[in-house]
A and B are shown apart, each in its own frame.
Chain A
């Protein structure tokens, strides 16, 4: 069979401000047969999106395709003129972007937008197009396929929009569909549904797919062939199974390894030296945070956090995991004193911690430091790295001049950064380096407790793995206590001792990190854990099959006070779960589960 896509010696160059050319993609050759899914894998800056766009004859502003042949479904894309490209795009090849939320026009109904490509390309009359759209909605397993098109983008969830966008891409029955990180912005539980829908539709219609991603576990599920890219050149190209199981190049091996983070061994709680019961560093009790109208007891109508109870033992790392919107960032802000709670108390080493940072003592502010997610925004671009560190040293410890400089350099050593960075500004650093500086700044205060909010979310896997390693190392050498907030289960297991699972502003389960993957768990924990893609083919089928077996019935009308997981829970007890707040079951090994089910009926995770 001939290749539907074949690229030979592709070169894409960008133009610098001073007029020089920078190669972005160098001498890339790849091919895909009819009906195959080809994955382009790489970190940010590897040129994977650039190549995918080049397949559509597009180059980003300031860049240009400067050499090579691109042939897609019999069209020489590099030779097409503007009119030819217009006819080609959307008709022969179409594109699914990473963020469907911003790709749809919020002012138009989805139906109009989804059938638009069919109308512009004169493929189908309007009525036919509408019929096909409904068919595609059904194939994508969207709820209410007949009527969903009449809605507006803001009324749907991210996962649904992503599938609608795929429907839009498929409406002209193109031969090739380019998926550009379509599930990266989604939660793992949603990602499964979306991946499954994509895969089913592609296979059913024999469409050739190009799938751009940085996530090897996703590649294992969807792709037949994988091309690993690095610095704009092909590093390795082979069948997916070969790349994942027997990577030949060092870089591919590194990528694969970054997906297998070592799991932190279980550690017994540090025995208190003086025999007294060790006091937790931080205790959060019954904390409520929200907005909206305030009732008679001073509690807000809409709650972001509702009755949070947590504690961080001395010298341990507490992981907080949850999907977007579960309130984990609000929790971080509350602990940091940036969002005072409406009710509940925070205690730091036994002393009450005021809700607002302005009311805390300088000593408390020093001992509780936060490392925030986005190092780009957290480091003042006008300051040098040295000045950033020295300021904290001066502020908290009164160090100046030579002493401050020496201490700042020691901090750079601590986070494994070269001294040469001392006089650089954040803009000149890489993402991983910025995150290390961010860490060093927190350490400069010599804190007891470090609050890490999604510190690896914006980083590439290899860099993130190194940051996690650094974090474990620092925690061990300095004896820090940490709160580690994340949505990434791998990261969580790599560094945490204890885990709290957050859902809809409630802590639904707390347990030791080591026991997270086996034993009985809260149904939501089970869903979360089983949704993290594994790097082996066939995983998606297994999970999907299991899911279909336990689909919950129709969602009961929302009621106040019930379990936050009720709408999605396959084990719920009708009439109870949606009304009565679940009791907390304490088990002897320190596990706390908030669920109506008796302990022996809780779902059990298979040991992996």
Chain B
């Protein structure tokens, strides 16, 4: 993040200073995300078992010393699978969020900074996309293109782009009218300078909140898809597919279905609360 910060505000010079200037909401959310990233990267390395390894005859076992979180419907170690699941959920959602927000922000700023026609065409296009129910759209694309992780990332990226476009366009529009932008234009500054140095630095705070929120949406959509069997495919796992495959365990109150659900809630609600500015 610090690299982005340094790029966005050379005036700020250091990423640390940039982070210190952020509102507490986005700052806490960034911190929380960093923790999830550590889990996503390091978790599977620490997992005691391979995700597909059947370690116990006992299915839907409860918490024990060998299997901290019990076993799943095939007698696999749930703790290990969970760590892998977090990795896929976090990574897929991060990539798709980055994709949607990068495109959305670039297009949003382009809409304000270029001609009226660009804005009109983009606006209609985005409104059209926005009017398609996201789950339906995802089902359609995946049914047509087949289930693969790149397809998932791309689909979710497209689904969340219009929202990001709208937010950044509204922000850029407001800032572009500010007197300091007028002052820069009166000085004769080029368009690129005005966008990168005058407008963008003042958008970062609200934009980061927006990105965080979109990440949460992405997690929920991916879990939905996986729960329906269209998301991440076995032998890979994500949080949604963990819930689905162990849903029978609900009758036994098995940790195999409760724990992934809780982790999912922790991930989404946590980031949401952090962004809201309340203490998580």
Chain A interfacial positions (CB closer than 8 Å to B): 336-338, 357-358, 360, 362, 365, 370, 372, 374, 377-384, 387, 392, 395-396, 441, 445
Contact = CB atoms under 8 A, between A and B. Distances in A.
Contacts, number: 50
Contacts of A445: 187
B206 interface: no
B202 A382 contact: yes
16 contacts: A336-B186, A337-B186, A338-B186, A357-B188, A370-B186, A377-B180, A378-B179, A380-B178, A380-B180, A380-B201, A382-B9, A383-B201, A387-B10, A387-B11, A395-B187, A396-B187
B233 interface: no
Contacts of A441: 183
Nearest to B184: A380
A362 B188 contact: yes
A374 B180 CA distance: 10
B135 interface: no
B230 to A, nearest CB: 43
B187 A392 contact: yes
A374 B179 CA distance: 8
A338 B11 CA distance: 27
Contacts of A384: 11
B189 interface: yes
Most chain B CB within a 10 A radius of its CB, from A358, A378, A383, A441: A383
A384 B21 CA distance: 12
Given A377-B179, A377-B180, A382 B201 contact: yes
Contacts of B183: 370, 372, 378, 441
A389 to B, nearest CB: 11
Contacts of A365: 186-188
Interface of B: 9-12, 178-180, 182-183, 185-189, 198, 201-202
A357 B11 contact: no
A383 B198 CA distance: 9
B204 to A, nearest CB: 8
Given A377-B179, A377-B180, A382 B11 contact: yes
Given A380-B198, A382-B11, 9 more contacts: A338-B186, A357-B188, A360-B188, A370-B186, A377-B178, A377-B179, A380-B180, A383-B9, A395-B188
Contacts of B188: 357-358, 360, 362, 365, 395
Nearest to A383: B11
A387 B10 CA distance: 9
A445 B201 CA distance: 24
Contacts of B180: 377-380
A247 to B, nearest CB: 37
A590 B38 CA distance: 78
A370 B179 CA distance: 11
Contacts of B187: 365, 392, 395-396, 445
Given A357-B186, A365-B186, A383-B11, A372 B179 contact: yes
A363 to B, nearest CB: 10
Nearest to B177: A377
Contacts of A387: 10-11
A403 B10 CA distance: 18
A359 to B, nearest CB: 10
Nearest to B188: A365
B22 to A, nearest CB: 12
A371 to B, nearest CB: 10
B15 to A, nearest CB: 14
Nearest to B180: A380
A242 to B, nearest CB: 43
B188 to A, nearest CB: 5
Contacts of A336: 186
A395 B11 contact: no
Contacts of A395: 187-189
Nearest to B178: A377
Contacts of B12: 382
Contacts of B202: 380-382
Contacts of A372: 179, 183
B23 to A, nearest CB: 11
Nearest to A396: B187
- Top 9 nearest A-B pairs (CB, nearest first) are A382-B201, A387-B11, A377-B179, A380-B180, A383-B11, A378-B179, A365-B188, A382-B202, A357-B186
A240 B55 CA distance: 91
Nearest to A387: B11
Contacts of B179: 372, 374, 377-378
A470 B178 CA distance: 26
B78 to A, nearest CB: 42
A226 B274 CA distance: 49
A42 to B, nearest CB: 28
A381 B9 CA distance: 11
A329 to B, nearest CB: 12
A379 B185 CA distance: 13
A392 B189 CA distance: 10
A381 B11 CA distance: 11
Nearest to A427: B21
Contacts of A378: 179-180, 183
Nearest to A368: B186
B260 to A, nearest CB: 37
Contacts of A374: 179
Nearest to B24: A17
A374 B178 CA distance: 11
Contacts of A396: 187
Contacts of B185: 338, 357
Contacts of A383: 9, 11, 201
Contacts of A357: 185-186, 188
Contacts of A379: 180
A39 to B, nearest CB: 34
B198 A338 contact: no
Nearest to B201: A382
A395 B198 CA distance: 14
Contacts of B201: 380, 382-383
Contacts of A380: 178, 180, 198, 201-202
Nearest to A333: B182
Contacts of A337: 186
Nearest to B198: A380
B145 to A, nearest CB: 41
Contacts of A362: 188
A378 B180 CA distance: 4
Contacts of A370: 183, 186
A357 B201 CA distance: 25
Contacts of A381: 202
A210 B142 CA distance: 71
Contacts of B11: 382-384, 387
Contacts of B178: 377, 380
Most chain A CB within a 10 A radius of its CB, from B11, B182, B185: B11
Nearest to A391: B197
Contacts of A377: 178-180
A487 to B, nearest CB: 19
A37 B180 CA distance: 43
A380 B11 CA distance: 11
Most chain B CB within a 10 A radius of its CB, from A382, A395, A396: A382
B88 to A, nearest CB: 37
Nearest to A336: B186
A90 B220 CA distance: 52
